[in-house]
Amino acid sequence: MSDHGMMEKEEIFSKVLRAGRRTYFFDVRATKAGDYYLTITESKKFTNDDGSFHYKKHKIYLYKEDFNEFNNILREMTDYIITEKGDEVISERHQKDFKKEEYTSNNDDVAEGGTSTDNSDSADKFTDINFEDI
């Protein structure tokens, strides 16, 4: 029973996706009227300083009247990401040896404010910085 005195709705059909420190639960549940809806729960594990751990959970309730539009937007957004960035994970957090690309083209070596970011002969290109302007 929950704090509201109601029994937790029984899952009709469930799937679990484990993804690193996150786990996603997809559960089909029934309304009081006997219709079905979907809950998607993200559970993320956090480790405390003392070595113990706890979970934070976020839940989405998705009802049948929203399925088509939800699916369309989800498909559009995921297709956009894959088209723009591919399906390879390219983040510092996921790849320990990830290094940001260095831009070395002569045209791309100007930082904001018009100063060069080229490090060659850096002693010749020293710029005074006034920290009062920051």
> Measuring CA to CA, which residue among 108, 101, 102, 28 is closest to residue 63?
28
Global pTM reads: 0.58
At residue 129, the pLDDT reads: 46
Q: Read off the pLDDT of residues 42-101 as tens digits, 9 standing for 90 and up.
A: 999 888 889 888 889 999 999 999 999 999 999 999 999 999 999 888 776 655 665 666
Degrees, nearest 5: CA angle 113-118-120: 145
Are 116 and 109 in contact by the 8 Å Cβ rule? The answer is yes
At residue 53, the pLDDT reads: 86
Where does residue 86 fall: left (phi above 0), alpha (psi -120 to 50 degrees), or beta otherwise? Answer: left
Domain boundaries along the sequence of the chain: 11-85
CA distance 34 to 104: 63
* Residues whose CB is less than 8 angstroms from the CB of residue 62 and which lie 6 or more positions away in sequence, other chains included: 37, 38, 39, 40, 70
CATH code for the part of the protein at 11-85: 3.10.450.700
| Choice between 8 and 45, residue whose per-residue pLDDT is larger | 45
